[in-house]
Amino acid sequence: MALVEMALSRILIRENSDQQVIFLKEKGGEGRTFPIIIGVFEAVEINRKITEVETPRPMTHDLVRNVLHGLGAELVRVVVDELKESTFYAKLHLRHEGEEVVIDSRPSDAIAIAVAEKAPIFVDETVLDEVGGQTE
């Protein structure tokens, strides 16, 4: 499995739409990029993490982070590792007491948490091949 490091390069938040779009872009190399359709709640949360807007109370993605910290786990990286029937699949790779624990996640949740935790985001090369990531 070859992993390609990506950055979250763009979020499009459209009012009155259930579907929002984020773009991941290859950090090095050719700068390949592709969109992922996500929900409005997750898009707002990712945007909040990027702009580092603090909320008075923990939002649901902060709760995930608080659980990780409270149980002594650390988010090492996020990997978008599969594309099946137009749905992207992702994993949280955690370190917990010296062991790696892998948790199934939607890419939107994984990316919201990765942005807040400043953890790297990877995409499997096979997924990048499938989406035919265009350079800009």
68 belongs to the binding site for its own copies (CB under 8 A): yes
For residue 108, report the phi and psi dihedrals to the nearest 5 degrees.
Answer: -60, -50
Residue 10 in contact with its own copies, rule: CB under 8 A: no
- Residue nearer to its own copies on the CB measure, 26 or 119: 119
* DSSP letter for each residue of 101-135: EEEEE-HHHHHHHHHHHT--EEEEHHHHHHHT-EE
The one-letter amino acid code at 35 reads P
Taking the complex as a whole, how short is the minimal distance between the CB of residue 105 and its own copies, in angstroms? 5
Footprint of its own copies (CB under 8 A): 41-42, 56-61, 63-64, 66-68, 70-71, 73, 87, 89, 92, 94, 96, 101-106, 109
